[in-house]
Amino acid sequence: MLGDTADAEDALQETFFNAYRGLPSFRNTAGYTAWLYRIATNVCLTFLRRRHRKDKRLAELSGRETALAEDPDDVVAARQILEELVGVISERELEIVSLHYIAGMDQGQVAASLGISRRAVAKRLRKLRDRLDRLRR
């Protein structure tokens, strides 16, 4: 999801630290795995947001108008999509996209993990695909 081994290792460590801290408030509504996936997704989204802001600041400082300069050889397709969406869609929508496309959860698992209906997940994914298509045009 992050496309960088060092960031992934940092995110893994932060995920388990957050999970340990959050154990007292853990509610077994969707299961431990879904809860841990949600924590990991939130940590990764935070890393992506920080990277996006940093890239944007660097672009502003260098006078370029584009916020992100990507090397296609190093970037995974899913990461490209997430980076395009960071800052454009809500955190909840990023969670849905990450859990479905990156973590490989089906719509029912995403819904259980986030405490929303499967229909809501399907509707948001459809709207996000349409929005991404418009952004790419």
Amino acid found at 95: E
Q: How many CA atoms lie within 13 A of 87 on its CB side?
A: 15
Residue 101 Cα distances to 27, 53, 115, angstroms: 25, 23, 18
- Both tokens assigned to 88: 């454009």
pLDDT (tens digit, 9 = 90+) per residue, 24-44?
888 777 788 888 888 998 898
Cα gap 12→54, rounded to integer Å:
21
**44 CB-contact burial (10 Å; exposed 0-12 / middle 13-18 / buried 19+):** buried
Please write the tens of the pLDDT for every residue from 45-104: 888 887 766 555 545 444 433 333 344 443 455 666 666 676 677 878 888 887 887 777
